[in-house]
Amino acid sequence: MAHGPALKTLFSDPSSLNRPLCVDFDGTLKSLAFRWELLDALREAHRLGRKLVFLASNENGPAKHLAEALELFDEYQVCDSDQPSQVQRLVSAFGEKGFDCLGDALTRPELFESAHQGFVIGATPKTEALAKRLANLTVISKQLNLAIAVVKQLRPHQWAKNALIFLPVLLASQVPSVSGLGQALVAMIAFSFSASAGYVFNDLLDVEADRMHATKCNRPFASGALPTNFGPPLFVTLLLASILLSWWLLPLTFLVMLALYFFGTLSYSLYFKRWLMLDVLVLAGLYTHRILSGGIATGVKVTTWLLGFSMFLFTSLAFAKRYVELQALKSSGQVRNRGYFRADLEMVASMGTSSGFIAALVFMLYVDSAKVRVSYRDPSLLWLVLPILLYWLGRVWLLAGRGQMRDDPVKFALRDRTSLACGAAIALVAAAARYSPGWISAGLH
C-alpha cells in the first residue's frame, strides 16, 4: 500500500532525530520486507543519523538475517518472552518516553504505551482500537488483505474489454442463439484469465518503473500490498485455467487464437511497448484480435468492415493512452519504458484524433454498403450512431487535452457516466435498426 510522500519525512523529522526508533516486525517479516516506501523512509532516517533498533524474539532467527541484509539498523535486541522486562530495558537504555516505536499488527502494545510516539503499519482492528485509546499511537496503514490484493492484481474491470468477443455473434445476420452466446461467454472468460496472467507478468517486470509512476505506484506489486513472490504461481494458475477452459469447451482453432493473443501480450510487455508507433499498432491489433477470436469461438464470419472500424478506433484510443502518459511527464525527457518524448505530445494527439475520425468514416461507408442490408431491417437508423460516435471521440480527446482523463481511455470509459450513456444509446439505435417494426421505418421516411 502506498503511503504517499509524507511517510518519507515521518521518521526523519528534526524533532525526532535524537530519539531512537525501535522497529518491531518480528511477527510477520514480509510486512517489512515488501514495503518499499517504508524502507525508503527508514533509509532516509538512517542517512540523517537517527538510531534504528531492530527488536526480535530470538538471537539467530530469520528476523536477524533480515535486519542484517537490510543494513539499516544500528542495534539488534532480542525480546524475551517476559514482555515487561523488554520494555524496562528500553526505558532503562533510552529513558521514559525516550524512544519511538514502529511495528506491524502483531506489535506488543506495551511498547507503544512506553514510547514517545508509536507508528503502526498494517494495523488489525484490535490495534486500531488501541490507537483510539493511546494519544501517542498513529496508524499509518491498515492490515493487508491478500485476497483483495489478488483480486485487484487480476484487474477484473479490464475484463470488460473482452466483451468485444460478443460482437460477431451479436452483429451476425441471424438472431443470436443461446449456444452462440454461451460459447462467446466461455471465450470471454478464457481471454480474461489469459489477460490477467499477462497483467501479472507485466507488473512483475515493471515493478520498479511502476513505483516511480504517479498512479501505477498503487498497483499491488509496486505498493507492496501483494508480495512479488506471489506472482509466478498466480501467473501459472491463470494461464492453465485459460488453456483448459478453451480446450474443453471451444474449437481447437480458438485455442490457437488464445495462444496468439497471449504471446502477443507477452511480446508487448517484453519488447513492443518500448518501440515508437509499433506499441500503438500492437495494442490496437490485440483489441481487433479479440473480435476475430469471438468469430472463431461462435462460428460467425467477421466482416472486413468491422475489422477496419475496430483497428482505427482502437489505434485512436491507444494513442490517447500514450497522450495521457506524456502529459503526466513532468520533465521534457522520455516516458519510462516507452519510445515517446514530451516533444511528441502534439503529434500523438494529431495521429490519435485522425485515427478516431477515420473509424467514424469507415462506419459511415459501412452504413451505405450492401452488406448492412442483410443484417438490419432499417439500416438508415444507423446514421444516428454517427453523431454519438463523433461526440464521444471528441469528448475523450478534449478531456485528455485538459488533463481531466488520467487513466487508460478504455478504463475511463467504463467509469464515465457520459461514455456509458453513449454506449447505451448506440446499442439502442442498433437494436432499433435491426428489429424495428415497419411502422417506425414508415414514420421516419
Dist. CA 382–CA 431, nearest whole Å: 10
6-139: CATH topology: Rossmann fold (3.40.50)
Confidence of residue 363 (pLDDT cuts 50, 70, 90): very high
Q: What is the pLDDT of residue 106?
A: 54
- Using a pLDDT cut of 90, give the percent of the chain over it: 32
Q: What is the pLDDT of residue 189?
A: 96
Helices of type H across 329-407: 345-367, 372-375, 385-402
Q: What is the pLDDT of residue 33?
A: 43
Full-prediction pTM beyond 0.75?
no
pLDDT tens-digit profile of 61-79?
A: 555 666 666 677 888 777 6
Q: What is the pLDDT of residue 2?
A: 41
Domain boundaries, the chain: 6-139, 146-302
Cross-strand bridge partners of residue 341? 334
Q: What is the pLDDT of residue 60?
A: 60
**For the residues 215-228, what does the mean pLDDT come to?**
74
pLDDT tens-digit profile of 259-296?
A: 999 999 888 878 888 888 888 999 999 999 999 999 99
Tell whether the model's pLDDT for residue 360 goes beyond 90. Answer: yes
Buried b or exposed e, range 116-147, using 16+ CB within 10 angstroms = bbbbbbbbeeebeebbeeeebbebbbbbbeee
Q: What is the pLDDT of residue 28?
A: 46
**For the residues 97-107, what does the mean pLDDT come to?**
77
146-302: CATH topology: Tetracycline Repressor; domain 2 (1.10.357)
Confidence of residue 35 (pLDDT cuts 50, 70, 90): low
Q: What is the pLDDT of residue 59?
A: 61
CB-CB contact of 250 with 186 (8 Å): yes
Confidence of residue 378 (pLDDT cuts 50, 70, 90): confident
Q: What is the pLDDT of residue 83?
A: 53
CB-CB contact of 258 with 188 (8 Å): no
